[in-house]
Amino acid sequence: MPASRETVQAVLKSIADPVAGGDILSSGVVRALNVDEAGAVRFVMEIPPSASTAYTKIKDEAEAALKATEGVTGVSIVMTGHTEKAPPELRTRKAEPQGPQKIPGVNHIIAIASGKGGVGKSTVSSNLACALAQQGRRVGLLDADVYGPSQPRMLGVSGRPASPDGKTILPLRNHGVTMMSIGLMTNDDQAVVWRGPMLMGALQQMMMQVQWGALDVLLVDLPPGTGDVQMTLSQKAQVDGAIVVSTPQDVALLDARKGIDMFKQLNVPLLGMIENMSTHICSACGHEEHVFGHGGVASEAAKLGVPLLAEIPLDLQIRLASDGGAPIVVSQPDSGQAKAFHDVAAALVAKGVA
């Protein structure tokens, strides 16, 4: 019988916290505890960086204790840390400059972003990844939308990533796309309640500790807005450019401009914009209607001097395909709905960034 959450909590309460005192569960070191139906245990240890040596021993102790617990089928523990001031003896030494780094094996990185949620950024990301794969590119997709990960569903991926050595993570693959998402490590209905340092630590692990293999391009599906994840990606990884997705309506464009300004401040080139839900054609009568307005994104792209990469329709088949785990470029590759994504993929390949 799989171990219960209460059983796991009891084990964690038996392990002393070497810094805060008490046990690691009561002290708040253990975060985002998840015990799935099969008995696999996952959680984050949020620690002060200065105490990493002490907590590494505690991590090993917790892992051993849980593995010895009846009903526990697997244990995955991630350590991340708060930012602290350097000790006085180190403050006179300047740290070596650490700019954006290349992800091993990855030739290009493209960020897919939006100013606000609900504009179809993740749908664009999954379809574009599959379209690039169909053009013979070696493609990875990192679902960095930690609070709302949707790529496992859209790409029809299930199961848990393996970690054969406890240090590196093996991503999953479908439709020719190598994919990693925090959604693969949590239950579908489980909220990820993390603060900024935990988000940044998780993103860096998904970038640098995943065995991506040799990729021509890694697409990063960012959360909406201009927060910690966007800054961490731009500051830690060499991003070749960003694509901003927006609907034509004024409210969405207001937020899209903020996202564009963020990338400008972070010195990430803007590769172009995509207008999603651009138009709707009635399946009964063929009447075309611009539900969210039309041309707003094209006008904004013209002002910025960047390409309008695509105008993607508001179409039932695109939604059904994504919900079904086979994006429209996979389920209906020769359809008119898929053409826009193929055109964007071809443009990125021609530009030399994919």
- DSSP characters for 12-77? HHTSB-TTTSSBTTTTT-EEEEEE-TT-EEEEEEEE-GGGHHHHHHHHHHHHHHHHTSTT--EEEE
Residue 326 within a domain:
yes
Amino acid 15: pLDDT: 92
| Band (22; pLDDT cuts 50, 70, 90) | confident
Residue 91 within a domain:
no
For 25-84, how does the pLDDT look when each residue is reduced to its tens digit (9 = 90+)?
A: 888 888 878 888 888 888 888 887 777 788 888 999 999 999 999 999 988 888 776 544
- Average pLDDT of 175-191? 85
User: Is the per-residue pLDDT at 168 higher than 60?
Assistant: yes
Kindly state whether residues 223 and 110 are assigned to the same domain.
Answer: yes
| Band (160; pLDDT cuts 50, 70, 90) | confident
Kindly state whether residues 75 and 141 are assigned to the same domain.
Answer: no
- Average pLDDT of 228-246? 91
Q: What percent of the chain has pLDDT over 90?
A: 47
Of 60-64, 100-104, 120-124, 345-349, least confident by mean pLDDT is 100-104
Kindly state whether residues 78 and 110 are assigned to the same domain.
Answer: no
Kindly state whether residues 163 and 299 are assigned to the same domain.
Answer: yes
72: its two tokens: 């526990």
User: Is the per-residue pLDDT at 298 higher than 50?
Assistant: yes
Which of 104, 192, 81 lies closest to 144, judged by CA?
Answer: 192
Kindly state whether residues 69 and 154 are assigned to the same domain.
Answer: no
Amino acid 101: pLDDT: 85
CA 37 to chain centroid, in Å, comes to 24
| Band (185; pLDDT cuts 50, 70, 90) | confident
- The residues with which 270 forms a beta bridge, in sequence order, are 242
Residue 98 within a domain:
no
Residue 97 within a domain:
no
Q: What's the per-residue H, E or C state across 273-321?
A: EEECCCCEECCCCCCEECECECCHHHHHHHHHCCCEEEECCCCHHHHHH
Domain count within the chain: 2
User: Is the per-residue pLDDT at 266 higher than 60?
Assistant: yes
Amino acid 81: pLDDT: 64
Instruction: Please provide the average confidence, as pLDDT, over all residues in the chain.
Output: 87
User: Is the per-residue pLDDT at 23 higher than 70?
Assistant: yes
Residue 95 within a domain:
no
Q: Which of 83, 116, 139 is the last residue of a domain?
A: 83
CATH number, domain of 72, equals 3.30.300.130
Domain limits for position 329: 106-351
- Average pLDDT of 100-122? 92
Kindly state whether residues 113 and 75 are assigned to the same domain.
Answer: no
Of 86-100, 269-283, 338-352, least confident by mean pLDDT is 86-100
- Average pLDDT of 193-216? 85
Amino acid 32: pLDDT: 77
Kindly state whether residues 212 and 333 are assigned to the same domain.
Answer: yes
**153 vs 143: CA distance, rounded Å:** 11
Kindly state whether residues 60 and 111 are assigned to the same domain.
Answer: no
DSSP secondary structure of 102-115: PPTTEEEEEEEE-S
Residue 99 within a domain:
no
Amino acid 97: pLDDT: 44
| Band (109; pLDDT cuts 50, 70, 90) | very high
Amino acid 93: pLDDT: 41
